[in-house]
Amino acid sequence: MALFGRLATAMVTPFDQQLQIDFEKTERLIDHLLSTGTDALVVSGTTGESPTLSSEEKLALFRHVVQYVNGRCKVIAGTGSNDTASSIAFTQAAEATGVDAVMFVAPYYSRTSQEGLYQHFRALAESTRLPVMLYNVPGRTAVNMTAETTLRLAKLPNVVCVKEASGNLSQIAKIIEHAPEGFEVYSGDDGITLPVLSIGGVGVVSVASHVVGAQMQEMIQAFFVGKLDAAAALHRKLLPIFEGLFAFPSPVPTKTALEQMGVAVGGVRLPLVPASDEERAFIHSLLSDNA
């Protein structure tokens, strides 16, 4: 069914020269993404440098994106953190901005138990009427949400999907096999989009779609119409992009690539630093090879 389409983009946050949110650049970025295959926007996720954005900045960004998109695609707000109480309050504030759904990342740093994960996500889900996307990304949070915990949460009425970035295809397959009807699994890693689709996933929450969105949409559509050889060939062709955009701390490679493509998105906030000359040359080569 793909509630949020096949290709959702974890959108970078454009900044001006003073590293404040640039809403005009945000509009141009949205136009670029929607014209190259993006079906939904995830705003203020990790790729959007959410740890460096204040709550006020995030809410202003949600409001602006919702207003500018004007129904052209679904807008999913990243509202989770490792503080349950503040995440509840922020999620309720985000709901008032008109976003279509919310995404809750697994609570990072605290390294809670599976029961703690369940109770955290349950409390957040019960605090909002919006559809919920869970986000499991153990490489960043230091905790993996097991298939059993995800399936437990999937029974909650507004928990509708998970962005699975564990890289564990066995775990992902178990979720897909045992999920209640209507619960969907999105790949959280560009590089395993096609394998996840092949075991029953519905799509991807992508970073690479900033750069190769049209090709990714082509790959996904080829898979779903049974052109498996074509889909596999596109996957192999795009793999250097998938990997290259994480060759140094994300979203620096993606913002660098967008600038080189003529889509202005500005710099990054500390503790991230701009790409070095060597890194910029690497991105230039990556884009040239994919041209």
Q: Which of 25, 163, 186, 255 is catalytic?
A: 163
Let me know how long the chain is.
291
Instruction: Respond yes or no: is residue 163 known to be catalytic.
Output: yes
Using alpha carbons only, give the angle 187, 188, 192 rounded to the nearest 5 degrees: 55
Q: Which H, E and C letters describe 194-248, residue by residue?
A: HHHHHCCCCEEEECCHHHHHHHHHHHHHHHHCCCHHHHHHHHHHHHHHHHHCCCC
The verdict on whether 109 is a catalytic residue reads no
Structure tokens at 4: 């949020």
At 275, list the tokens: 């790409």
Handedness of CA 182, 207, 104, 45 (dihedral sign): negative
Distance CA 278, CA 266 (A): 19
Of 135, 155, 227, 237, which is the active-site residue?
135
Distance from CA of residue 35 to its chain's centroid? Answer: 18
Q: Which residues are catalytic?
A: 135, 163
